[in-house]
Structure 1
Amino acid sequence: MNHKSALHTFLEGIRDEAPLLLAVIPFGVIYGIVALEAGLTKLQAQSMSYIVFGGSSQFVASKLIAEAVPASLIVLTVAVVNLRHMLYSASVAPYVQDLPFRWKALLAYLLTDEAYAVVINYYQRQEEHRYSHWYFLGAGLILWITWQMSTAAGIFMGKVLPPSWPLDFFLPLTFIAIVVPSLKDCPSVVAAVTAGVSSLIFYNLPYRLGLIAASLVGITTGFVSGHWRKR
């Protein structure tokens, strides 16, 4: 294979990721607005997109910051929300295990929900070749660029949108649009339902601990359900 093969594979990743960007753009715009409403500066809001690069955890962190929740609980909550990335990493690890560390580090940074969705499908349907990681890079990089631009757009629009717009109403709708398509089997449905019910039960816990409790309940029930289903 030549250099054009690497470029072709890179462009394939961009092409396959493109349809998912239609949902990423409004999600990023809303995050930018919500971050400013939470009291973050423009630089802080944009920096979170650079450093964290995780929509769900960025929303959660912004909300907790707005409520002056202790930093230790914010870190713990974000860690729980991002536990799914451990599963993503374990899933793609066999396909990238022979790459140099610099590649592994870069691809790990770019591994998000939307990138994983197309990358794992590519790895499972294609014969592995020396440039397959360029597909991963293409999918992850176009997603990263789109997220940064949409965040910046939200930060800018935060000054021009009427304060009467019910942005808090659109936020859960965005999460629903992301979660529902991923509910493809019994364990994922069980995890989502139990986490949702638990969030209502634990709603009044201080420092938003209900979110952590509901996440742990959902993860546990999903794991147990998957275990029993295999048996």
Structure 2
Amino acid sequence: MNAPEPAQAATLTEEHDPALWREGLRTGLPTLFGIAAWGLVVGVAMVKSGLTAFQACGMTLLVFAGSAQLASLPLILAHAPVWVIFATGLVVNLRFVIFSALLAPHFAHLPWRQRLLYGYISGDMTVAIFLQRFPTAAPVPGKLSYLKGLVLPNWAAWQAGSLTGIFLGSAVPAEWGLGFAGTLAILCITVPLIANHAALCGVLVAGAVAVLANGLPYKLGLLAAVFAGMLSAMAVEGLIEKRKARHV
């Protein structure tokens, strides 16, 4: 049987499928509370860090990356050089380069504006869930509908939580312990992504380095932790692949 032509593959992928849209929504639904909670914490943190409501709204709508937003806030307060702030955000979000490479074969046929839009509203959990449902780039009717069912509610939950945190942040008592709530929220997002030994090693190494390098200026310990975690995960993944190759 011949493979579908590119135009036919595009039609199959873009074909609207309400059933797959609902499936994507149902699959991603359990993560929305954690996403909203994490957005709430980031919204409060932005206001508590001295940003105006307008600035905080602009940041959450344009950046849409909680870890990068939180990493940049202490640097902004410390009047760190702009290149340090941008470099921190870039390194913290390097994982999205990998996500983009994984999603590209599925949607390379779409116009660049659509790809830009779906890239912007995609998040960690939504990409992981989508790739579990569609592990190969084979054309499947309604594949884009499934992605929309994941990413649109995820984006809306984040923005709702973040905007709520921004406008209510000044009224939230410090004794509510939102820092601890934020830790729990990000753990809820991170733990399901630890799918293999390489990822687990990366998380453990990054956590250890972050603690040990906590005293570095400009929060550069975070950069060191990200690099150490990535390199260790890649090293473990390489060792696992070599071991598999020897047993083939």
Question: Could you say whether these structures have the same fold, taking a TM-score greater than 0.5 normalized by the shorter chain as the test?
Answer: yes
Q: 2:50 aligns with which of 26, 39, 48?
A: 39
Moved more, 50-59 or 1-10: 1-10
Shift of 1:6: 3.6
Residue in structure 2 matched with residue 146 of structure 1 by the alignment: 157
CA change 1:65–1:171 in 2 (3 A) is farther
Task: Output the CA distance in 1 between the equivalents of 2:203 and 2:16.
Answer: 41
Is the 1:46–1:148 Cα contact (8 Å) retained in structure 2? Answer: no
Secondary structure at the aligned position of 1:99 is classed as coil
Alignment of 1:50-89 (within 5 A): 50-89=61-100
Task: Output the CA distance in 2 between the equivalents of 1:223 and 1:30.
Answer: 31
Task: Output the CA distance in 2 between the equivalents of 1:18 and 1:222.
Answer: 29
Q: Scaled by the length of structure 2, what TM-score is found?
A: 0.84
Q: 1:219 aligns with which of 217, 230, 236?
A: 230
CA change 1:229–1:29 in 2 (3 A) is same
Shift of 1:159: 2.5
Shift of 1:227: 0.5
Is the 1:29–1:150 Cα contact (8 Å) retained in structure 2? Answer: yes
Q: Give the aligned length.
A: 231
Residue in structure 1 matched with residue 177 of structure 2 by the alignment: 166
Shift of 1:207: 1.4
Task: Output the CA distance in 2 between the equivalents of 1:148 and 1:76.
Answer: 24
Which segments of 5 or more consecutive residues in structure 2 lack a partner in the other structure? Answer: 1-10, 243-248
Is the 2:210–2:225 Cα contact (8 Å) retained in structure 1? Answer: yes
Secondary structure at the aligned position of 1:124 is classed as coil
Secondary structure at the aligned position of 1:159 is classed as helix
Asked which structure has the greater RCO (Cα within 8 Å, sep 6+), the reply is 2
> Are 1:179 and 2:175 an aligned pair?
no
Which segments of 5 or more consecutive residues in structure 1 lack a partner in the other structure? Answer: none
Is the 2:61–2:159 Cα contact (8 Å) retained in structure 1? Answer: yes
Larger radius of gyration: 2
Moved more, 190-199 or 117-126: 117-126
User: Percent of aligned pairs with the same residue?
Assistant: 29
Residue in structure 1 matched with residue 107 of structure 2 by the alignment: 96
